[in-house]
Amino acid sequence: MVLDNRSASNPPADATPRSRPGDPSANVSEAPPNTHADRVAALRTQWDAQPPDTPIRLAKRTSNLFRPRTRTTSPGLDVSSLTHVLDVDPVARTADVEGMVTYEQLVDATLPHGLMPLVVPQLKTITVGGAVTGLGIESSSFRNGMPHESVLEMEILTGDGEVVLARPSNEHSELFFGFPNSYGTLGYALRLLVELEPVRPYVRLRHLRHSDPRTYFAELARHCAEGDADFVDGTVFGPDELYLTLGTFTDEAPATSDYTWLDVYYTSIRERDIDYLHTRDYLWRWDTDWFWCSRALGVQHRLVRLLLGPDRLRSDNYWKIVAFDRRHGVSRRVNRLLGRPQREAVIQDIEVPVDAAADFLDFLHREVPLSPVWICPVRQRHPDRQWPLYELDPHTLYVNFGFWGTLPVLPGRGHDARNRLVEQKVTELGGRKSLYSEAFYDERTFWRLYNGPAYERLKHRYDPQGRLLDLYSKCVKAE
């Protein structure tokens, strides 16, 4: 059946995804006694009960964001019930999901049908709603763009407490296109209809080493243009040690590797020219070790991994440890007691045009010497569309750089000096910076980069009373 004729006033009934005979449907729970409409009605009741003079917030215990969040005593909106995969349509190749469905849930619901979302962000507990109101990227982004580009419609609870259905061509189309990169400051996605694409059982990986950055990025651009792989990303270990990883779907594999427990995926890139993974394991290859950030927690030692078991080796568990440390300042106090220098956290994802990628990498090695660095090409999927709060040139291939870690504070430069250097360099090279981590722009620069006039129009229409924080207050001032 085709789902694109539903309205917000007549949302879909709950249904578990249909499976072929004999196929498992792991992690897909049976339909609960209440419906999506009941859950939305309960959320509206919560909204009405919120004190009128306090900002509306979500009551979320966990997050995949890496910027400070103000701790409040207000209860916030409990959206924990909006975690249902409502329908998977293998004919139309669509999935109808609630906003708090994680990509782990969605992948486990679609793979039995031989399908996957067009872009699957790297961490299991990123939610579909979160990836759309924020941003997501992965190794299929050179052909499929970002997660919001495969959304067909969204049911959104707006800042004025109304539930609207936003589509590319209806009366709420401006909200549809302005929702990505709004980070919950215009409203919350309650339900999304997303496109899916076919998969095959395995992914064959080729790890191609390069020693010259300009040749490396030229080859990356060539493979993206020729479309000779289903997935393209890369890992940079040093100025002359760069790996380009090409993934191709295949029906057969002579043997498969397992990076869900004892072995670490990113170290295998240096050790293997060819590798094979089950498709599900490929999609979550980075999650077991949070890319490589699990090493800071001491869990890349084989004995430690053996004792912990695969269920504990997950990005959401690591995030909880880091959040606890941030909240209580444990590592900061330990470093102070041991006389260690203060450190600046540099946790960033940025995009620059591929022609500027070698220059940016040179800047990173010189000013922000973190290693490894993740490389991921991305091109806007629909060249005729505009996403005003995160505008990319639709005819340009961009390269995402992900670099995460801490470095000693630069003497006399403050605790945010390197982050500010990154922001300046990205702007200089015509790039964009994701707001999932900390941002340090002054307000005038911020609104120039993130289309203040377009945002103000949306804010005036969908949150005229300012019940939700504005984008600058939330992402820079961390209110």
| Pick from 53-67, 166-180, 212-226, 229-243: least confident | 53-67
Q: What is the largest CA-CA distance in the chain?
A: 66
Report the percentage of the chain scoring pLDDT > 90.
Answer: 80
Arithmetic mean of pLDDT over the chain: 90
Residues 6+ apart with CB under 8 A from 464: 159, 160
Angstrom distance (rounded) from CA 243 to CA 211:
9
Question: Phi, psi (5° rounding) for residue 162?
Answer: -95, 155
Q: How confident is the model at residue 60 (pLDDT cuts 50, 70, 90)?
A: low
Average pLDDT estimate for 192-212: 98
**DSSP one-letter code for 168:** T
pLDDT digits (tens, 9 = 90+) for 131-186: 999 999 999 999 999 999 999 999 999 999 999 999 999 999 999 999 999 999 99
Which sign does the torsion angle of CA 402, 344, 314, 93 carry? negative
Fold observed for domain 59-198: 3.30.465
Say yes or no to pLDDT of 291 above 60. Answer: yes
Residues 6+ apart with CB under 8 A from 181: 133, 134, 135, 387, 389, 390, 435, 450
Domain coordinates of the chain in residue numbers? 59-198
pLDDT digits (tens, 9 = 90+) for 305-348: 999 999 999 999 998 998 888 788 888 788 788 878 889 999 99
Instruction: List Cα–Cα distances, 197 to 83, 190, 237, 249, in angstroms.
Output: 22, 23, 32, 12
Residues 136/146, Cβ–Cβ less than 8 Å:
yes
pLDDT digits (tens, 9 = 90+) for 411-466: 888 889 999 999 999 999 999 999 988 999 999 999 999 999 999 999 999 999 99
Closest CA to 393 of 404, 415, 378, 408: 378
**Strand partners of residue 346:** 405
